[in-house]
Every structure is written in C-alpha cells, then in structure tokens.
Amino acid sequence: MFNIKDKIAIITGGNSGIGRAIVNVFLEAGAMVHVLDINRPSEDPGLLPDLIDHDCDVSDSSEVNDTIQEIANAHPIDILVNNAGIAHVGNVENTSDEDFDKIVDVNIRGVFNCSRACIPHMKERGGVILNMASIAGAVGINDRFVYSMSKGAVLAMTYSMAKDYVGHGIRCNSISPARIHTPFVDAFIKKNYPGQESEVFSRLSATQPIGRMGSPSEVAHLALYLCSDEAAFITGTDFPIDGGFIKLNGE
C-alpha cells in the first residue's frame, strides 16, 4: 500500500529496538536498506541482499561522510531515517559533563552529521528525511533533563530543514514516541529495579492513557507511511505516537 519499492533508505541505529523494526518493515515494503550502527544485530539477519550493514559512529563526522559517500557512489539516496539515539536518566543537577556531551554527540550531532552528508545527494532529485524525536522533547518528563533537551533539538532541526529544503523536493518530518516496549526498556527495569520488574513495567505502561506501551512495529509502520509516496504532501511536521500521553494526561 505504501510505496517505497526500490527506494534506497539509510537507517541509523538500525540494529536494535525501533530501528530494527523500521529496517524490517522497509525491507518488506521493497526498499534497499543501509544500516549505520556501531552495534551488531542481536540476531543473525542471514543472507538479505537488500540489507547492507555499515559499522559507523553517527557522532563522528568523518565516518559519516565516508560512509554516505560510499553509498552515494553506488546508487541514489532516497530516504534517511535518523533513528540512532541514547537515553539518560537524571535532572540538571546530577547530569555530568560527560553524560551531557555524550547525549549531545549522538542525539543531536548524529542527526546533524547524517543530514548534512545526505542532503547534497538529495537536492537534485528530492528525498525524505525522518527524524526520531520523542514526547520528551515536547513535554516535561521527570529525570530526563538532557535527553529531553536533545529531543527538543531534534524537533527544531526537523522544522528548520523542512523549511530550508522544501524547494529542493526534500521532505523532513519527525516521530515522537512515548514509551515503546523494546529490549532497552526490559534491561533498564531489570538493572534499576531488580525483583520489581513486573510491578515497574505495569506502572510505566500505565503512564500512557491507552494503558500500555507501544510496539516498535507500530512506530515502524508510521515511519513507512511518512517515507512513502502516499505522504508526499507532508513536511515540517512532528507525529506523536504516544497512546494519548501528550493530550490526555491530566485531563
């Protein structure tokens, strides 16, 4: 239904969680997918000729430039999904310089590096950039100071790039998930709340008015639509996928 057949898509952080779900959905929809990630897939993908994995640190501009150029030398770039990101728990007082810099390097500089490298290759024929933001960038969440700051920056970059490059046929949007049930969530709960996993999972799930966490597949299918030809009239917009978190909490 959503047309990305034979499109060339670059997905950062595509070897786990939401990123891996996006990779799988895009492959099913007929795209050729290049994954940029410093982590190896948790499962052996087998022989997938339409999936090419690149060991690339998105916070390193030289690595990004070299990798994107290598891809562009082989074929046009149609889609960039800036999904790579890391989380942090803490408020402004207990956020260290090192943690602050690490979040900025991956969550902000990573989007900057990859977008800057891809846009010149898209300007002649158009393309799509989709950034992974978060509800944390739009509303306050306890103990997520630097993470929220970084996702607010992703929103601002989305709007700015959409305005700057709409005349070149480049669309730029973002997705803002609430809590999504990924292996990261399970590992976080197990590490910080040993023996209370079930209780904490239920409590976190209940923060979405719909009563559960989202699934990576649900985010991936929204990403598919926004990167498809059917979404050709959409740019400069953020799409919350949050189980009602932003609009329904507190009402």
Does the annotation count 225 as an active-site position?
no
Higher per-residue pLDDT: 250 or 119:
119
Q: 10 Å Cβ neighbour count for 26? A: 26
In this structure, which topology does domain 8-178+216-240 adopt according to CATH? Answer: Rossmann fold (3.40.50)
User: What mean pLDDT, rounded, does the chain reach?
Assistant: 95
pLDDT class of 192 with cuts at 50, 70, 90: confident
Catalytic residue among 147, 159, 193, 225: 147
Q: DSSP assignment of 169-219, as one string?
A: TEEEEEEEE--B--HHHHHHHHHHSTT-HHHHHHHHHTTSTTSS-B-HHHH
230 to each of 153, 164, 223, 226, how far by Cα in Å?
Answer: 27, 22, 12, 8
Higher per-residue pLDDT: 48 or 102:
102
- Residue 133 makes CB contacts below 8 A (sequence gap 6+) with 151, 154, 155, 158, 174, 175, 176, 238
Half-sphere exposure in the Cβ direction for 76 (13 Å, CA): 11
- Residue 251 pLDDT greater than 60, yes or no: no
Coil, helix or strand at residue 117: helix
Q: pLDDT tens-digit profile of 74-92?
A: 999 999 999 999 999 999 9
Q: pLDDT tens-digit profile of 12-69?
A: 999 999 999 999 999 999 999 999 999 988 666 666 789 999 999 999 999 999 999 9
* Residue-level pLDDT at 249: 84
* Residue-level pLDDT at 41: 81
pLDDT class of 213 with cuts at 50, 70, 90: very high
Asked if 202 and 6 count as a contact pair (C-beta separation under 8 A), the reply is no
Q: Where are the domains of the chain?
A: 8-178+216-240, 181-213
Average pLDDT on 158-163 reads 98
86 to each of 8, 89, 209, 218, how far by Cα in Å?
Answer: 25, 11, 25, 20
